């Protein structure tokens, strides 16, 4: 049992030793009390306890002088500063620490030390800075920092900031190095988790140390100008994220809090808060707050807040807030808030809220609400419009007031205005006019004009009837009472096979009267008359008719009417003498109409039933 306990103790000691050896030599901790011993003996003892070797010139460090030391669980760095009182500098090489005399420059003051919380835990990523000297550092993973500031006639306080902790200040002594151990109490203020723009890090190119410093410091430093090679390499160094510049020049890329007048970067500009009046980048501009003025980039512009001015890019623009001005890009534009002005993109425009002005895209445009004009090559989409939608293929709105014009398809849940399409118009509720080959609506307070109209709550009837020329006819009437389209087909039952005589046509009509008692139709239909497979000849029958409808059952009516007929026939048709010329039962007039044309007129009759 005793041997087992000894083994455990040995393993525990080995683990602790291995852990200590993984620490940098200056950060290894030890305890030591010695009085009136030479520096050489003290260093030898420290080295034995921490497995560190010290390299030095005995004469340079005065190793024979006697010193006293009393430390308890402190770092080697602090122990050396106790021994030499800041007169030496230290360099680490593996497990070696090289000690050399420090050359104190009259125009510089050094402040270094450790930062802990009230529980003695090390605080990393705290920011120590001097605004007046434009100098800043951050504590490392061991809570250590070292700041050098230039000595002036009057030294300004050095500030220590860490988010969630109370602020501290140090007043340096000119020309004298200071080694301090500071305890930083937690802040009593409630830290609100607001979406601070400093946390935005496009492409991850801003170093975490710079971002953290921006979070720690809660004040703005003002400078006339700055120049940067990269976001972390510039004249504002670690204070870049808290500095507002009038002018900002970034050779490759830069990072700053705000820009008041002008910023240019060969690759990338990153601004935590607001920017203006002009910002230009070879690749991208990124602004975490608001922007006023003109923003131009070869690839992408991004503004998280509101924008007032012109935003131009080769590929994309994005606004997180409202936009008042112009947005133009080669590929896409995106605005989260309201938009007032002009938006143009090679492919797509997206405006998530109200849009006032002109929105145009090569492929696709979307806005929650449009007050103005929306134009795209393929599709326009809007929750609500007050103006016009024009597209090469498709328009859609949930609620609209104005005009929809599309080459193929218009769709609206509710529209007050006009729908014009080369193929189909569809609306839930339409108050106005539909013009297209096919018009479809749930209800219509207006006029559908097209080849085929269907209004679910409108005028939809099927007529089965006979006339003096064709005894079997069927027609569909679709639209509204005051204006509807008529599609018809008929044939002569006495003709069969290749000699079958038939007719088809389209027309329009209007109805009036009382559907429950007696109603009337006034319509005009243009019909082509053909025989068998011969569809090349054009023989047109035009009927201007008046019909009376009398209901005989639910959704069934008997109808009877008269018509005045114009029959224009091609006299060169092979069956002209035998069939086409004898189609009218008689004629009021029978006259040639130019070369190879004959016009006959007569009054005809119609009788049948109406369904639906």
Neighbour count for residue 151 (Cβ, 10 Å):
17
Band of residue 255 on the pLDDT scale cut at 50, 70, 90: very high
Same domain, yes or no: 564 and 478: yes
Same domain, yes or no: 35 and 118: no
In terms of Cβ atoms closer than 10 Å to its own Cβ (0-12, 13-18, 19+), residue 200 is middle
Same domain, yes or no: 444 and 535: no
Q: Say if CB 503 and CB 541 are below 8 A apart.
A: yes
What was the pLDDT predicted at 18?
A: 45
Q: Is the pLDDT of residue 153 over 80?
A: no
* Residue where one domain finishes, among candidates 164, 183, 202: 183
Q: Is the pLDDT of residue 375 over 50?
A: yes
Q: Say if CB 97 and CB 91 are below 8 A apart.
A: yes
Same domain, yes or no: 487 and 600: yes
Spell out where 331-468 has E strands: 332-335, 339-345, 348-361, 364-376, 379-391, 394-406, 409-421, 424-444, 447-455, 459-467
- The two three-digit tokens of residue 351, written as one number: 């405006």
Band of residue 556 on the pLDDT scale cut at 50, 70, 90: very high
Q: What is the mean pLDDT of the chain?
A: 87
* Residue where one domain finishes, among candidates 183, 206, 236: 183
What was the pLDDT predicted at 239?
A: 86
- Mean pLDDT throughout 219-248? 89
Q: Say if CB 469 and CB 455 are below 8 A apart.
A: no
With respect to residue 372, please indicate whether it lies within any of the assigned structural domains.
yes
Cβ within 8 Å of residue 44, ≥6 positions away: none
Question: What is the length of the chain?
Answer: 612
Domain of 82: which CATH number? Answer: 3.55.50.30
- The two three-digit tokens of residue 186, written as one number: 């937690």
> Could you give the number of structural domains in the chain?
4
Q: Say if CB 503 and CB 487 are below 8 A apart.
A: no
What was the pLDDT predicted at 5?
A: 44
Which candidate, 551, 507, 500, places its Cα nearest to that of 526? 507
Report which secondary-structure segment, H or E, holds 112.
Answer: strand 108-116
Q: Say if CB 385 and CB 400 are below 8 A apart.
A: yes
Same domain, yes or no: 58 and 87: yes
Same domain, yes or no: 120 and 81: no
What was the pLDDT predicted at 395?
A: 94
Tell me the per-residue pLDDT of 411-454, one tens digit each, with 9 for 90 and over. 999 999 999 999 999 999 999 999 999 999 999 998 999 989 99
Q: In this predicted model, which residue has the larger pLDDT, 532 or 15?
A: 532
With respect to residue 351, please indicate whether it lies within any of the assigned structural domains.
no
Same domain, yes or no: 471 and 400: no
How far does Cα 515 stand from its chain's mean position?
Answer: 55
With respect to residue 157, please indicate whether it lies within any of the assigned structural domains.
yes
Q: Is the pLDDT of residue 391 over 90?
A: yes
> Which phi and psi angles does 592 have, rounded to 5°?
-70, 145
Same domain, yes or no: 469 and 404: no
Segment among 68-77, 554-563, 566-575 with least mean pLDDT = 566-575
With respect to residue 300, please indicate whether it lies within any of the assigned structural domains.
no
Same domain, yes or no: 97 and 117: no
Cβ within 8 Å of residue 9, ≥6 positions away: none
Which candidate, 482, 442, 444, 486, places its Cα nearest to that of 461? 486
Band of residue 155 on the pLDDT scale cut at 50, 70, 90: low
Q: In this predicted model, which residue has the larger pLDDT, 477 or 532?
A: 477
- Mean pLDDT throughout 297-304? 94
Q: Is the pLDDT of residue 19 over 50?
A: no
- Mean pLDDT throughout 29-46? 91
Distance CA 599, CA 278 (A): 76
Same domain, yes or no: 167 and 87: no
Distance CA 380, CA 35 (A): 87
With respect to residue 205, please indicate whether it lies within any of the assigned structural domains.
no
Same domain, yes or no: 423 and 522: no
With respect to residue 472, please indicate whether it lies within any of the assigned structural domains.
yes
pTM of the model: 0.74
DSSP code per residue over 226-261: EEEEETTEETTGGGGGGEEEEEEEESSEEEESEEEE
What was the pLDDT predicted at 170?
A: 83
Distances (CA, A) of 325 to 290, 322, 328, 367, 506: 13, 10, 10, 16, 50
With respect to residue 449, please indicate whether it lies within any of the assigned structural domains.
yes
Tell me the per-residue pLDDT of 47-68, one tens digit each, with 9 for 90 and over. 999 999 999 999 888 888 989 9
* Residue where one domain finishes, among candidates 101, 119, 153: 101
In terms of Cβ atoms closer than 10 Å to its own Cβ (0-12, 13-18, 19+), residue 358 is middle
Same domain, yes or no: 131 and 88: no
Which residues span the domain enclosing 430?
365-454
What was the pLDDT predicted at 203?
A: 61
Instruction: Give percent of the chain with pLDDT exceeding 90.
Output: 59
- Mean pLDDT throughout 185-202? 54
DSSP code per residue over 332-368: EEEESS-EEEEEEESSEEEEEEEEEEEEEESSEEEEE
With respect to residue 471, please indicate whether it lies within any of the assigned structural domains.
yes
Name the range with the highest mean pLDDT among 174-178, 230-234, 608-612: 608-612
Domain of 132: which CATH number? Answer: 2.60.40.1120
Which three-class secondary structure state does DSSP give residue 274? coil
What was the pLDDT predicted at 596?
A: 84
Using CA atoms in the order 330, 334, 338, 341, what is the torsion angle rounded to 10 degrees? 0
Tell me the per-residue pLDDT of 491-546, one tens digit each, with 9 for 90 and over. 988 887 778 899 999 999 999 999 888 999 999 999 999 888 776 778 899 999 99
Distance CA 404, CA 418 (A): 6
């Amino acid at each position: 049992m005793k041997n087992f306990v000894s083994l455990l103790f040995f393993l525990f000691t080995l683990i602790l030793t291995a852990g200590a050896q993984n620490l940098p030599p200056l950060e290894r901790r030890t305890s030591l009390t010695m009085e009136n011993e030479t520096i050489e003996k003290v260093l030898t003892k420290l080295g034995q306890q921490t497995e560190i070797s010290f390299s030095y010139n005995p004469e340079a460090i005065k190793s024979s002088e006697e010193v006293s030391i009393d430390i308890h669980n402190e770092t080697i760095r602090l122990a050396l500063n106790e021994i030499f009182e800041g007169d030496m500098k230290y360099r680490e090489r593996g497990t070696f620490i090289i000690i050399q005399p420090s050359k104190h420059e009259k125009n510089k003051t050094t402040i270094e030390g450790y930062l802990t919380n009230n529980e003695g835990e090390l605080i990393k990523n705290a920011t120590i800075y001097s605004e007046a000297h434009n100098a800043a550092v951050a504590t490392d993973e061991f809570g250590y920092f070292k700041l050098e500031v230039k000595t002036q006639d009057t030294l300004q306080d050095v500030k220590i900031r860490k988010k969630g902790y109370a602020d501290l200040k140090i007043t340096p002594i000119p020309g004298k190095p200071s080694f301090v151990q500071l305890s930083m109490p937690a802040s009593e203020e409630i830290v609100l988790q607001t979406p601070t723009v400093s946390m935005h890090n496009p492409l991850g190119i801003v170093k975490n140390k710079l971002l953290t410093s921006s979070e720690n410091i809660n004040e703005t430093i003002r400078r006339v100008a700055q120049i940067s090679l990269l976001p972390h390499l510039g004249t504002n160094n670690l204070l870049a994220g808290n500095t507002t510049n009038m002018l900002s020049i970034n050779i490759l890329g830069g990072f700053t809090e705000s820009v008041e007048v002008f910023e240019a970067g060969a690759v990338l500009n990153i601004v935590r808060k607001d920017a203006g009046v002009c910002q230009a980048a070879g690749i991208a501009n990124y602004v975490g707050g608001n922007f006023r003025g003109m923003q131009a980039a070869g690839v992408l512009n991004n503004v998280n807040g509101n924008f007032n001015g012109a935003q131009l890019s080769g590929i994309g623009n994005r606004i997180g807030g409202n936009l008042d001005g112009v947005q133009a890009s080669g590929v896409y534009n995106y605005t989260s808030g309201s938009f007032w002005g002009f938006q143009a993109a090679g492919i797509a425009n997206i405006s998530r809220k109200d849009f006032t002005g002109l929105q145009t895209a090569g492929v696709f445009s979307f806005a929650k609400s449009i007050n103005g004009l929306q134009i795209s090559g393929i599709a326009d989409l809007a929750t609500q419009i007050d103006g016009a939608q024009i597209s090469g293929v498709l328009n859609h709105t949930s609620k609209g007031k104005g005009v929809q014009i599309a080459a193929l398809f218009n769709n609206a849940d509710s529209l007050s205005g006009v729908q014009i399409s080369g193929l189909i118009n569809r609306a839930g509720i339409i108050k106005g006019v539909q013009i297209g080959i096919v018009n479809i609506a749930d209800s219509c307070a207006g006029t559908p004009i097209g080849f085929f109209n269907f209004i679910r709550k409108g005028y939809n009837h099927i007529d089965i009837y006979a006339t003096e020329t064709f005894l079997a006819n069927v027609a569909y009437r679709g639209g509204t009472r005051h204006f509807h389209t008529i599609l018809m087909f008929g044939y002569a039952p006495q003709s069969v096979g290749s000699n079958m005589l038939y007719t088809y046509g389209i027309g329009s009509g209007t109805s009036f009267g009382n559907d429950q008692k007696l109603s009337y139709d006034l319509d005009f239909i243009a019909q082509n008359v053909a025989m068998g497979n011969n569809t090349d000849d054009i023989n047109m029958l035009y009927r201007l008719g008046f019909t009376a409808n009398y209901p005989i059952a639910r959704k069934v009516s008997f109808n009877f009417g008269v018509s005045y007929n114009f029959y224009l026939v091609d006299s060169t048709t092979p069956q002209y003498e035998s069939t086409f010329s004898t189609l009218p039962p008689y004629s009021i007039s029978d006259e040639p109409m130019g070369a190879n044309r004959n016009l006959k007129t007569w009054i005809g009759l119609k009788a049948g039933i109406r369904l639906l």
